[in-house]
Amino acid sequence: MGDGAPNAVNHARRIVLGVDPGTLVTGFAVVSCRHDSLALLEAGSIRNQSRQSMPIRLRRIYEGLQSLIDRHHPDEFAIESAFYGKNAQSALKLGQARGVSILAAVEKEIPTTEYSPREVKQAVVGKGTASKEQVQYMVRALLHVKGEAMLLDTSDAIAVAICHLHRGTARPSRHKDWSSFVAAHPERIRS
Protein backbone atom coordinates (compact mmCIF):
# COMPACT_ATOMS: atom_id res chain seq x y z
CA MET A 1 0.00 0.00 0.00
CA GLY A 2 2.86 2.39 0.58
CA ASP A 3 4.09 2.27 -3.03
CA GLY A 4 2.20 5.41 -4.08
CA ALA A 5 0.00 3.63 -6.64
CA PRO A 6 -3.28 5.18 -5.39
CA ASN A 7 -1.84 8.67 -5.86
CA ALA A 8 -0.79 7.83 -9.40
CA VAL A 9 -4.35 6.77 -10.22
CA ASN A 10 -5.83 9.92 -8.68
CA HIS A 11 -3.32 12.05 -10.52
CA ALA A 12 -4.52 10.70 -13.87
CA ARG A 13 -8.09 11.89 -13.19
CA ARG A 14 -9.17 15.25 -14.55
CA ILE A 15 -12.43 16.98 -13.68
CA VAL A 16 -13.77 19.67 -16.00
CA LEU A 17 -16.69 22.01 -15.43
CA GLY A 18 -18.23 22.84 -18.82
CA VAL A 19 -20.62 25.78 -19.20
CA ASP A 20 -23.04 26.89 -21.92
CA PRO A 21 -23.88 30.41 -20.69
CA GLY A 22 -27.19 32.21 -20.98
CA THR A 23 -29.09 34.66 -18.80
CA LEU A 24 -32.29 32.61 -18.73
CA VAL A 25 -30.73 29.14 -18.90
CA THR A 26 -27.08 28.38 -18.18
CA GLY A 27 -26.20 24.77 -18.88
CA PHE A 28 -23.48 23.12 -16.80
CA ALA A 29 -21.73 19.77 -16.70
CA VAL A 30 -19.06 18.26 -14.51
CA VAL A 31 -17.22 15.56 -16.44
CA SER A 32 -14.30 13.50 -15.22
CA CYS A 33 -11.79 11.65 -17.32
CA ARG A 34 -9.55 8.88 -16.06
CA HIS A 35 -7.45 6.84 -18.45
CA ASP A 36 -9.53 8.05 -21.45
CA SER A 37 -12.78 6.98 -19.79
CA LEU A 38 -15.38 9.74 -19.43
CA ALA A 39 -17.88 9.94 -16.57
CA LEU A 40 -20.65 12.47 -16.04
CA LEU A 41 -20.56 13.55 -12.39
CA GLU A 42 -23.36 16.13 -12.56
CA ALA A 43 -25.20 18.04 -15.26
CA GLY A 44 -28.15 20.37 -15.40
CA SER A 45 -29.05 24.01 -15.75
CA ILE A 46 -29.34 27.17 -13.76
CA ARG A 47 -32.71 28.63 -14.71
CA ASN A 48 -33.83 32.19 -14.28
CA GLN A 49 -37.21 33.81 -14.78
CA SER A 50 -37.55 36.44 -17.51
CA ARG A 51 -39.27 38.75 -15.01
CA GLN A 52 -36.17 38.79 -12.77
CA SER A 53 -33.84 41.74 -13.08
CA MET A 54 -30.53 41.16 -14.85
CA PRO A 55 -28.43 41.64 -11.68
CA ILE A 56 -30.48 38.93 -9.90
CA ARG A 57 -30.08 36.55 -12.86
CA LEU A 58 -26.32 37.13 -12.95
CA ARG A 59 -26.00 36.57 -9.20
CA ARG A 60 -27.90 33.25 -9.49
CA ILE A 61 -25.56 32.09 -12.29
CA TYR A 62 -22.49 33.08 -10.29
CA GLU A 63 -23.71 31.47 -7.05
CA GLY A 64 -24.85 28.32 -8.84
CA LEU A 65 -21.45 27.83 -10.48
CA GLN A 66 -19.63 28.62 -7.23
CA SER A 67 -21.70 25.92 -5.53
CA LEU A 68 -20.79 23.40 -8.25
CA ILE A 69 -17.13 24.30 -7.92
CA ASP A 70 -17.26 23.84 -4.14
CA ARG A 71 -18.99 20.47 -4.55
CA HIS A 72 -16.80 18.94 -7.28
CA HIS A 73 -13.48 20.86 -7.12
CA PRO A 74 -12.90 20.81 -10.89
CA ASP A 75 -9.34 21.03 -12.17
CA GLU A 76 -10.35 23.04 -15.22
CA PHE A 77 -13.18 25.22 -16.49
CA ALA A 78 -14.35 25.33 -20.12
CA ILE A 79 -16.94 27.71 -21.52
CA GLU A 80 -18.51 28.28 -24.88
CA SER A 81 -17.39 31.59 -26.34
CA ALA A 82 -19.82 34.16 -27.64
CA PHE A 83 -21.07 33.86 -31.16
CA TYR A 84 -21.96 36.89 -33.20
CA GLY A 85 -25.68 37.12 -33.83
CA LYS A 86 -27.95 39.67 -35.37
CA ASN A 87 -29.30 40.99 -32.07
CA ALA A 88 -26.89 43.26 -30.19
CA GLN A 89 -29.02 43.19 -27.02
CA SER A 90 -28.88 39.37 -26.89
CA ALA A 91 -25.13 39.42 -27.45
CA LEU A 92 -24.71 41.89 -24.60
CA LYS A 93 -26.75 39.72 -22.22
CA LEU A 94 -24.82 36.61 -23.25
CA GLY A 95 -21.57 38.48 -22.59
CA GLN A 96 -22.75 39.30 -19.07
CA ALA A 97 -23.59 35.65 -18.38
CA ARG A 98 -20.19 34.60 -19.73
CA GLY A 99 -18.47 37.21 -17.56
CA VAL A 100 -19.97 36.06 -14.26
CA SER A 101 -19.36 32.42 -15.25
CA ILE A 102 -15.68 33.08 -15.92
CA LEU A 103 -15.43 35.11 -12.72
CA ALA A 104 -16.81 32.17 -10.71
CA ALA A 105 -13.92 30.04 -12.02
CA VAL A 106 -11.06 32.53 -11.85
CA GLU A 107 -11.96 33.53 -8.29
CA LYS A 108 -11.34 29.89 -7.34
CA GLU A 109 -8.10 29.98 -9.41
CA ILE A 110 -9.36 27.38 -11.87
CA PRO A 111 -7.71 27.60 -15.31
CA THR A 112 -10.30 28.59 -17.91
CA THR A 113 -10.55 27.90 -21.61
CA GLU A 114 -12.98 29.19 -24.20
CA TYR A 115 -14.22 27.25 -27.22
CA SER A 116 -16.30 28.48 -30.13
CA PRO A 117 -19.56 26.65 -30.83
CA ARG A 118 -17.99 25.37 -34.05
CA GLU A 119 -14.96 23.94 -32.18
CA VAL A 120 -17.24 22.16 -29.71
CA LYS A 121 -19.39 20.63 -32.45
CA GLN A 122 -16.32 19.56 -34.40
CA ALA A 123 -14.76 17.89 -31.34
CA VAL A 124 -17.91 16.02 -30.30
CA VAL A 125 -19.75 15.30 -33.56
CA GLY A 126 -16.94 15.63 -36.11
CA LYS A 127 -18.80 18.37 -37.98
CA GLY A 128 -18.63 22.06 -37.03
CA THR A 129 -22.09 22.70 -38.45
CA ALA A 130 -23.85 19.96 -36.46
CA SER A 131 -27.27 20.70 -34.98
CA LYS A 132 -27.86 20.90 -31.23
CA GLU A 133 -29.81 17.65 -31.50
CA GLN A 134 -26.82 15.91 -33.13
CA VAL A 135 -24.59 17.19 -30.33
CA GLN A 136 -27.04 15.86 -27.75
CA TYR A 137 -27.16 12.47 -29.45
CA MET A 138 -23.35 12.17 -29.44
CA VAL A 139 -23.07 13.36 -25.83
CA ARG A 140 -25.57 10.70 -24.76
CA ALA A 141 -23.67 8.04 -26.73
CA LEU A 142 -20.25 9.03 -25.39
CA LEU A 143 -21.39 9.08 -21.77
CA HIS A 144 -23.92 6.23 -22.02
CA VAL A 145 -26.79 8.46 -20.85
CA LYS A 146 -30.09 6.73 -21.52
CA GLY A 147 -33.65 8.00 -21.49
CA GLU A 148 -33.30 10.93 -19.11
CA ALA A 149 -34.81 14.22 -20.25
CA MET A 150 -32.04 16.67 -21.03
CA LEU A 151 -32.19 20.30 -22.08
CA LEU A 152 -30.13 21.27 -25.12
CA ASP A 153 -28.31 23.79 -22.89
CA THR A 154 -27.23 20.91 -20.65
CA SER A 155 -26.04 18.72 -23.51
CA ASP A 156 -24.17 21.72 -24.95
CA ALA A 157 -22.38 22.18 -21.61
CA ILE A 158 -21.47 18.50 -21.55
CA ALA A 159 -20.13 18.89 -25.09
CA VAL A 160 -17.98 21.86 -24.01
CA ALA A 161 -16.43 19.75 -21.22
CA ILE A 162 -15.84 16.81 -23.59
CA CYS A 163 -14.31 19.15 -26.19
CA HIS A 164 -11.90 20.44 -23.55
CA LEU A 165 -10.94 16.95 -22.46
CA HIS A 166 -10.34 15.92 -26.09
CA ARG A 167 -8.29 19.02 -26.85
CA GLY A 168 -5.92 18.63 -23.90
CA THR A 169 -4.65 21.37 -21.66
CA ALA A 170 -2.14 23.28 -23.77
CA ARG A 171 -4.27 26.18 -24.95
CA PRO A 172 -3.22 29.83 -25.04
CA SER A 173 -6.59 31.09 -23.79
CA ARG A 174 -6.36 29.47 -20.33
CA HIS A 175 -6.38 31.86 -17.39
CA LYS A 176 -5.55 31.18 -13.78
CA ASP A 177 -6.84 34.49 -12.48
CA TRP A 178 -8.67 37.62 -13.54
CA SER A 179 -5.50 39.64 -14.17
CA SER A 180 -4.14 37.02 -16.60
CA PHE A 181 -7.47 37.07 -18.45
CA VAL A 182 -7.37 40.88 -18.66
CA ALA A 183 -3.74 40.82 -19.81
CA ALA A 184 -4.58 38.32 -22.56
CA HIS A 185 -7.77 40.13 -23.67
CA PRO A 186 -7.39 43.92 -23.18
CA GLU A 187 -9.82 44.50 -26.06
CA ARG A 188 -12.63 42.96 -23.96
CA ILE A 189 -12.24 45.45 -21.11
CA ARG A 190 -14.16 48.69 -21.21
CA SER A 191 -13.23 51.65 -19.03
pLDDT value of position 138:
95
Q: How many domains does the chain have?
A: 1
Among 76, 80, 114, 156, the active-site one is: 80
Domain span at residue 40? 14-188
- What would the mean pLDDT of 45-62 be, rounded to a whole number? 97
pLDDT in tens, 88-141: 888 889 999 999 999 999 999 999 999 999 999 999 999 999 999 999 999 999
% of the chain exceeding 90 in pLDDT? 69
In this structure, what are the phi and psi dihedrals at residue 16, rounded to the nearest 5 degrees?
Answer: -120, 135
* Residue 2: inside a domain: no
* Residue 131: inside a domain: yes
Is 80 among the catalytic positions? yes
pLDDT value of position 5:
39
Among 20, 76, 114, 156, the active-site one is: 20
Is 153 among the catalytic positions? yes
- What would the mean pLDDT of 29-41 be, rounded to a whole number? 93
* Residue 1: inside a domain: no
* Residue 3: inside a domain: no
Residue 186 clears pLDDT 70, i.e. is over it: no
More confidently predicted of 178 and 10: 178
Is 133 among the catalytic positions? no
Any idea which of 7-11, 37-41, 88-92 has the lowest mean pLDDT?
7-11
CATH number at residue 90: 3.30.420.10
* Residue 8: inside a domain: no
Among 76, 114, 153, 156, the active-site one is: 153
- pLDDT-derived band of residue 63, with 50, 70 and 90 as boundaries? very high
- pLDDT-derived band of residue 175, with 50, 70 and 90 as boundaries? low
pLDDT value of position 173:
43
pLDDT value of position 76:
97
CB of 16 closer than 8 Å to CB of 77: yes
* Residue 5: inside a domain: no
pLDDT value of position 10:
46
* Residue 4: inside a domain: no
